[in-house]
Structure 1
């Protein structure tokens, strides 16, 4: 049959009335072929029964029947013209073997049809009344889930697609427009968004050029400085090179981030263009919200790569280098302290954990050694060690608090886990759930490691800051007045709640001053 159909041209398989490939072809007595529906309609609407091609008249309407051979040849030709569907095409729901591209979707049948399987909707009177649309995937998405009717209109009041029954019921007094009308407005908005996206792309491309230019300037400056440098200042030269590497690294990071943003913007631009050209009004309205907004990007207006200044730095006297490094370390410590102070929390001491000799202020901010108090010997209370915990626990994130230690000769402070031993003799070490630093004999400072580490504190501490990064396993101590870092416990494996821990030690005539939870000085931060 394939061979027979290939012997006939496409024109020979087309009806002279509808100009389409034969559907149920019949032959007139004069030998011409027509679609059965076409010739029947032609004879019904004309006074004379004749052949449309040769005009031969018939005294009596001929009795005709389907020409099976021509019909099979037409079907074979029609199938040969169909191409297998591509990845993005809507597939025919009826094809059982090779899935062909759908030509139309029926809103009544909720089925998509290729050209062959669409024939019945074009020839059967009952099916001809069905509403056909351009093929769409997921037909159920364009049907009202409440009324099982096609979503054909748009409610501007509720910003949603509605069916005819929805309009007559829940949206009776709302502003209703056609999907096409609403789509025109949305397409206009998409064009504006596309223009903004293109502008953002150009701005970020320009930013990349600016960053690259800054790197070029940095390259020239460092090359010039290296050429003028002598080997006696190798340490300073290394610092100069490291500055340049940092500039390059920063520039690379900026460029990568900008390129990523451009990629996202190009993708959004493609989505907008694709949606702008669609004729599927419902699909446009359903997808509009997800593509019409601009993707989040960084504001690069005031972000630049500033080439480091190298002039004269390598020739700086070695005698000044130590002073410069010292000053820079102080700046780093100051910046570090300012950073951790941003995580300040309100610490209030818990009286249920305080030893019976400890006196807490009414606001829970001060503690010192005093007279014995008859208090319940609950499991949370320390004994015989004169210690106290904060009320609030921490099990995630970063937090910071400060303690005034002015006027004391002995104290401990830091962090402790919820499950610590609070009774009897206690070894204040990390493996026992304590991360602390201590003062002994008025001038000797220790970190509570195992074994303890003597801390090189030059000036007597007046106020100590405690910072914790739970996820990083970090507990750090700072000299708030001198704005210096004292010591850090690193690599801690926190698995439970942490509490602020204070121990003012015994009142021995010299150690009478309280430990005071101090507010963080925001003016310094």
Structure 2
């Protein structure tokens, strides 16, 4: 019998776009696999036809067909997930010492704006969960941590391992960036918000389309207008993903590698009305947490027998 360590890894049956088990998986010429609907939507909303994983660009949209073997394996994993989550629910019901909120949201990151990093144009709420452009320059100490020119604030909380998820209410604002930044980013003078300079971000620019901070920037066509954005980071996998919380849809995923601590960051511009306040929100939907792997980690031990069966059936190595 094959040992559990030689089995097919869970990540091999998960789409890098939707982060869930493949549905109608297809292979593109560079060798990476995605759900047919996911890669189709990604190409439709992107300015270039390229692979979301390796960034290989294609001159025209490749002809793709469903990988039937991978589809069958994925269906097996979906059965595994259903059975394992049911077992996990029974286990958590037997553990009354842990609060329901903690059981549901263990990857939820409770973040607050850091006043020591906030640009002097920005005003933070007393609890540190809301921020807005004040419209007036504040006389604040020009410390090394503070952004002195670009209207950015970081969170107090950073991450250097694990998986984290949070949500931001952008409301009616039409000029913002949200995402994560390296701890070492330059905070003085004019800066470029791009992956080349340590920022992985989604942006809305006034009078323009949505974009991500790739180099060069990639324009996205998103309808309807975003109101609430979910941000998910898997540090070890080098992944930063953005989600439309209101419409329960994936927006974009960066794949990179991280070598230093990351901090959630927020950029606001030309906002002087309460309605334009940006707010960090409590996570209310469990589907995103489950989709992003919290349940996968908890039921990994439960599913070893199922994975071994799949490994033996398809002779995967």
Measured against the shorter chain, the TM-score band is: 0.5 to 0.7
Matched, 1:469 2:242: no
CA contact 1:401–1:465 (8 Å) conserved in 2 = yes
CA offsets 1:19-62 (integer angstroms, 9 cap, x no match): xxxxxxxxxxxxxxxxxxxxxxxxxxxxxxxxxxxxxxxxxxxx
Matched, 1:514 2:277: yes
Higher helix share: 1
CA contact 1:478–1:486 (8 Å) conserved in 2 = yes
CA offsets 1:120-140 (integer angstroms, 9 cap, x no match): xxxxxxxxxxxxxxxxxxxxx
Task: Indicate the residue corresponding to 1:354 in structure 2.
Answer: 118
Matched, 1:377 2:204: no
CA shift, 1:506, in A, is 2.0
CA contact 2:171–2:275 (8 Å) conserved in 1 = no
- In 2, the alpha carbon distance for the partners of 1:248 and 1:515 equals 40
Counterpart selection for 1:502 from 266, 283, 308: 266
CA offsets 1:365-415 (integer angstroms, 9 cap, x no match): 011111221111000000110110000110000001110011111111100
- In 2, the alpha carbon distance for the partners of 1:395 and 1:422 equals 20
Q: How does 1:5-404 map to 2 (within 5 A)?
A: 241-242=68-69, 245-246=72-73, 343-370=107-134, 371-404=136-169
Task: Indicate the residue corresponding to 2:190 in structure 1.
Answer: 425
SS in structure 2 opposite 1:246?
helix
CA shift, 1:431, in A, is 1.9
Which structure has more relative contact order (CA 8 Å, sep 6+)? It is: 2
> Aligned pair in 2 of structure 1 residues 241, 422: CA closer, same or farther (>3 Å)?
closer
Matched, 1:460 2:225: yes
CA contact 2:105–2:286 (8 Å) conserved in 1 = no
- In 1, the alpha carbon distance for the partners of 2:71 and 2:158 equals 44
- In 1, the alpha carbon distance for the partners of 2:74 and 2:142 equals 61
- In 2, the alpha carbon distance for the partners of 1:515 and 1:442 equals 19
CA contact 1:347–1:392 (8 Å) conserved in 2 = yes
- In 2, the alpha carbon distance for the partners of 1:247 and 1:465 equals 26
CA shift, 1:241, in A, is 4.6
Give the greater-gyration-radius structure (CA).
1
- In 1, the alpha carbon distance for the partners of 2:246 and 2:112 equals 22
Gaps of 5+ in 1: 1-237, 255-298, 304-339
CA shift, 1:504, in A, is 1.5
> Aligned pair in 2 of structure 1 residues 510, 453: CA closer, same or farther (>3 Å)?
farther
> Aligned pair in 2 of structure 1 residues 241, 458: CA closer, same or farther (>3 Å)?
same
> Aligned pair in 2 of structure 1 residues 514, 239: CA closer, same or farther (>3 Å)?
same
How many residues in Structure 1 have an aligned counterpart in Structure 2? Answer: 204
- In 2, the alpha carbon distance for the partners of 1:455 and 1:361 equals 31
Task: Indicate the residue corresponding to 1:53 in structure 2.
Answer: none
Q: TM-score, normalised by structure 1?
A: 0.36
SS in structure 2 opposite 1:431?
helix
SS in structure 1 opposite 2:72?
helix
CA contact 1:351–1:388 (8 Å) conserved in 2 = yes
Gaps of 5+ in 2: 1-64, 88-103, 289-317
Task: Indicate the residue corresponding to 1:487 in structure 2.
Answer: 252
> Aligned pair in 2 of structure 1 residues 384, 246: CA closer, same or farther (>3 Å)?
same
- In 2, the alpha carbon distance for the partners of 1:359 and 1:399 equals 26
Matched, 1:413 2:178: yes
